[in-house]
Amino acid sequence: MIRRIWTFAFASWQILSAYAAVAQSDVESLLNREILDRATPLSEVQTFVESRVPLMKSYAASDQWNSEADKMRQEVLEKVVYRGQAVKWRDARTSVQWLETIPGGPGYTIRKLRYEALPGMWIPALLYLPDKISGHVPAVLNVNGHSPEGKQYPPKQMRCINLAKRGMLALNIEWLGMGQLRTSGYSHTKMNQLDLCGTSGLAPFYLCMKRGLDVLLSLEHADPARVCVTGLSGGGWQTIVLSALDTRVTLCNPVAGYSSFLTRTRHFKDLGDSEQTPTDLATIADYTHLTAMLAPRPALLTYNAKDDCCFESGYALQPLIDAASGVYRLFDKPNFLRSHVNHDPGTHNFEVDNRQALYRMMGDYFYTSADNFNRHEIPSNDELKTAEQLMVGLPSTNEDFHTLAVSISESMPKYAITDNSELRARLKDVVKAKEYSVAATQVGRDTKGDVTAIYWQLRLGNQWTVPAVELLPSNVIGTAILIADGGRTAAAAQAADLVQRGNRVLAVDPFYFGESKIREKDWLFALLVATVGERPLGVQASQIAAIARWTKGRAANAPVTLVSAGPRSGVIALVAAAIERQSISNVVQHDALESLKEVIARDMSITEAPELFCFGLLELCDLKQLRAVFSH
């Protein structure tokens, strides 16, 4: 166990010896009492998020909307996608290496290639190339979702084959974390390691799509007026994001790939991975806005009636149609926004019914003068290839989220701020700290042995209800606030020790910890907190800071010691102490991190500790600087 003590020590051992031993079992029993209704943490985070998601406005004319859409595109790219090192990645040259050509089937071949999404990160891809091409033809970027088969996924192969047989260029690109890129370093929950360093973890995802589109449009026969993007699930997410932000896309078909953030807060199976809920996106746009940003280009929104994965048509589709249809009417093109609901099989799929809906859409908008365009699936099952046949050679080393984060973190922190006041101010901005008011309600009282417990519900800023157990020894000589990674019930040993030393102990469970932990999809709700512009770490530290002010006021302004147990609560404690220097006089840490770089060195994912991936925290300062801010 690592233990650090700054400023004042607790009472001397000579004084402590005068106190009777406190039974840990008594303290544990007192801490175990439930204080909150079990639905409270979820209800509060839902309200917190929903109140911050931007809503679609009404617009009087198409020019007014175009101006707003252009502004949103620019802001999403600058403030969400291209942050930190991603600016250099954006400006890097796209390297493409064309490899072997293999037989496809009647009327087409398959050309293997790889391209750099960003320097050192190579993406394998397949170009389905018609044998006979005359002039310019439609070009289709095919993106895939969370299928471990990746680009070999049979429904995706079938779609690419059918497009090539219709004379189109079909590019099948691999997705990060799937197929040939299915390794730990590409796990989507590792992208947040980049966020910690102040570089957008979303950027590699976006550049993978954008560079793929660059490759496709560089082809001699690609028609820039007929460019389509389509994909299932995570591929549907890629489709809406790229198509909304890159107007080179002239038709898109996202399939069972996304819903509004407001929909997601109530339909938990829609809560997506880190890339689908990127930091700060919802400060600018919801997915309703992204859908409207497709206008006036043709768009087909495909959903499944009995989707067993996510984005079920019955609740996911209509809010998107409602948001975007008015914008399409501004352009006098209401029919350019279409939807298709699949009932057979109706589950999470891009099978033949959904593929034929895409072919019909292409016939209507890409082949308007062709009476003989085939809108039906061309049977091609015997042409499907194995993963081995479709394997694309990659360099022996390939950058992933983790390797990029390791490299970037080496030069962190980026700033050498020696003025503690300046660092404190910038820290508050990075963690989005708030100064919550406290309304305390006593909800019970109990005594075990020599310890009395008072149970509190602390209402903070009229947004959060934090449970607290106040433990009182027979003779109080100090005050301590206790937080622990495992919640207050896991900190009975520390609490008993503090009480035995004569401390009034306030054991609290801030956001995401102990009794305040969201019982289902917890880390995904933490992502939602970040996407609406707040930070889980800032919420937690602000809660502790507010409780420290309240505690100090009740204890006749006596010094308040903040005690943490665990690496996560240790970071929270340091941030809280740094932003609330007046009320927190002392910090004691058990099992604390030495450096935020340990988060990356240990290759942690956001599922383990959402608050530790606070965007830009390591870019600003490390724990050494936080301790210095607190101690001076």
What is the rounded average pLDDT for all residues in the chain? 95
pLDDT band at 559 (very low <50, low <70, confident <90, very high): confident
Q: How far apart are CA 371 and CA 604, in angstroms?
A: 56
| Residue 15: pLDDT over 80 | no
What string of DSSP letters covers 379-409?
--GGG---TTTT-----SS---HHHHHHHHH
Ranking 53-57, 327-331, 368-372, 515-519 by mean pLDDT, the lowest is 368-372
Please say whether the beta carbons of 376 and 356 come within 8 A: yes
Give me the mean pLDDT over the 441-465 stretch.
96
Q: Are strands 438-448 and 451-460 parallel, antiparallel or unpaired?
A: antiparallel
- Confidence grade of residue 632 (pLDDT, cut at 50, 70, 90): low
Q: What is the pLDDT of residue 20?
A: 46
In the chain, the percentage of residues whose pLDDT exceeds 70 is 97
Task: Say yes or no to pLDDT of 229 above 80.
Answer: yes
3 pLDDT more than 50? no
Residue 10: pLDDT band with limits 50, 70, 90: very low
> How confident is residue 4, by pLDDT bands cut at 50, 70 and 90?
very low
Reported as a single tens digit per residue, the pLDDT across 302-355 is: 999 999 999 999 999 999 999 999 999 999 999 999 999 999 999 999 999 999
pLDDT of residue 13: 33
**So what's the pLDDT on residue 556?**
72
Q: What letters, b where the CB count within 10 A reaches 16 and e where it falls short, cover 415-442?
A: eebeebeebbebbbebbbbbebebebee
Q: Let me know how long the chain is.
A: 632
Give 584's contacts (C-beta < 8 A, 6+ positions apart): 545, 548, 560, 561, 562, 576, 577, 630
Cα–Cα distance for residue pair 299/249, rounded to 1 Å: 10
Q: How far apart are CA 527 and CA 280, in angstroms?
A: 10
Lowest average pLDDT, out of 204-208, 464-468, 556-560, goes to 556-560
Ranges of H-type helices in 484-585 = 492-500, 522-531, 536-554, 567-579
Residue 591 burial (C-beta neighbours within 10 Å; 0-12, 13-18, 19+): middle
Mean pLDDT, residues 243-272 taken together: 97
Residue 554 has, within 13 A of its CA and on its CB side, a CA count of 17
User: In this predicted structure, what is the pLDDT of residue 18?
Assistant: 37
- Rounded distance, CA 269 to CA 189, Å? 17
**587 SS3 class:** strand
Read off the pLDDT of residues 180-196 as tens digits, 9 standing for 90 and up. 999 999 999 999 999 99
Q: What is the set of domains in the chain, with CATH numbers?
A: 3-32+412-631 (3.40.50.1820), 83-409 (3.40.50.1820)
Distance, CA of 158 to CA of 142 (rounded, Å): 11
Of 122, 279, 118, the C-alpha closest to 619 is 279
**Per-residue model confidence as pLDDT tens digits over 59-70:** 999 999 999 999
pLDDT of residue 631: 72
pLDDT of residue 176: 98
Q: What is the pLDDT of residue 199?
A: 98
Structure confidence at residue 6 (pLDDT)? 36
pLDDT for residue 245 is more than 90:
yes
Q: What's the confidence (pLDDT) of residue 371?
A: 85
pLDDT digits (tens, 9 = 90+) for 571-621: 999 999 999 989 999 999 999 999 999 999 999 999 999 999 999 999 999
Residue 418 has pLDDT above 90, yes or no: no
Q: Averaged over 208-227, what is the pLDDT? A: 98
C-alpha 488, offset from chain centre: 27
Mean pLDDT across 85-110: 97
